[in-house]
Amino acid sequence: MTLVVRDVSRTFSSGNGEPVVALTNVSFSVSDKEFICILGPSGCGKTTVLRIIAGLESVSSGSILLNGVPVTRPCPKMAMIFQEYSLFPWRTVEENIAFGLELRGVKKPDRLSIEEKYLDLVGLKGFEHRFPYELSGGMRQRVAVARALAIEPSILLMDEPFGALDAQTRNRMQHELLHIWEKTQKTILFVTHSVDEAVFLADRIVVMTHRPGKIKEIVTIPGTRPRDRTSEEFGQVRRHLLDMIREESDPIQ
């Protein structure tokens, strides 16, 4: 399974009719079971890249190739996990996880074992009959992860999934995501604006520049996991990335 983002550009028309260039010539490739973070300041178009890969938005030029086949619409080999509030509030945890299977017409008894498997994987056993409003932010994102995994995609696309969580929960979710990644052997594309998060999670980090969004550098993170956030090695990579991001950020911010 390889995913190739080739020369992708995207221009939006703004409110006053003037074109806004969101992305120019974004190219990178993702190999099987790789963990890629897309890192950049807000407004750099990193979410747009992810949405284009997911087939939710179109390109102005360029293409997305999954095993050599162009992707222009959502495809079941990829599942997206959104920032927040993506659960269906009228469905229980179990029914949320089952959603994708239901769409495919998988019968209830057959769904059950898959539901249980992923409920267990994200550590939510015992919560199957709860509704989203009864869950904390972290638990909701676990459900969102389980719901995405349940359709058994090869790639997970994650759009700042932990952005709305408090620092402790966020750290814990990062650990668990790595655990899930190792266990399920998925390829992950993870959008974040947190340098710390990217360095902790990624095999490679795609660093993007401010508007118009393009790739500044692709950084390979050395070292084995679990990574020690306080190590010198970690600190060096962080410093390098922070400097890059600082150059790119709006001077006013």
Partner 1 sequence: MTRRLGLVLPILLIIAWEVVAIIVNNPFFLPKPEAVIPVLLSPFSDILGTGSLVDNAVVSIERVILGFGIAAAVAIPLGIGMGRFAVLNDFFDVTLELLRPIPPLAWVPLALAWFKIGIVSIVFVIFIGAVFPILLNTVDGVRGVKNTWVEVGTTLGASERQILSKVILPGAAPTIWTGLRVGFGIAWMCVVAAEILPGPTSGLGYLIMYAYNLGQINVIIAGIIVIGLIGLTIDQGFKAVEKRWFGWRRLER
- Contacts to partner 1 from residues 142-161, by CB under 8 A: 147-148, 151
Nearer to partner 1, 21 or 75 (CB): 75
| Dist CA 108 CA 130 (whole Å) | 18
89 belongs to the binding site for partner 1 (CB under 8 A) = yes
Residue 131 burial (C-beta neighbours within 10 Å; 0-12, 13-18, 19+): middle
Q: Return the residue of 43, 116, 131, 212 that touches partner 1, per CB under 8 A.
A: 131
Q: Return the residue of 20, 69, 103, 218 that touches partner 1, per CB under 8 A.
A: 103
13 belongs to the binding site for partner 1 (CB under 8 A) = no
Q: Return the residue of 30, 39, 54, 173 that touches partner 1, per CB under 8 A.
A: 54
74 belongs to the binding site for partner 1 (CB under 8 A) = yes
Nearer to partner 1, 24 or 96 (CB): 96
CB atoms within 10 A of CB 43: 15
| Dist CA 46 CA 205 (whole Å) | 12
| Dist CA 86 CA 67 (whole Å) | 29
| Dist CA 209 CA 217 (whole Å) | 9
Nearer to partner 1, 134 or 247 (CB): 134
| Dist CA 125 CA 167 (whole Å) | 24
In the chain, helix, strand, coil percent, each to 5? 35, 25, 40
Quote the least distance from Cβ 221 to partner 1, whole Å: 28
55 belongs to the binding site for partner 1 (CB under 8 A) = yes
- What's the token pair of residue 81? 């996990």
Quote the least distance from Cβ 87 to partner 1, whole Å: 8
| Dist CA 53 CA 191 (whole Å) | 12
How many residues bind partner 1 (CB under 8 A)? The answer is 26
78 belongs to the binding site for partner 1 (CB under 8 A) = yes
Residue 176 burial (C-beta neighbours within 10 Å; 0-12, 13-18, 19+): middle
Q: Return the residue of 22, 49, 79, 146 that touches partner 1, per CB under 8 A.
A: 79
Q: Return the residue of 7, 20, 67, 85 that touches partner 1, per CB under 8 A.
A: 85
Task: Report the interface residues with partner 1, using CB under 8 A.
Answer: 54-56, 74, 76, 78-80, 82, 85-86, 88-91, 99-100, 102-104, 131-133, 147-148, 151
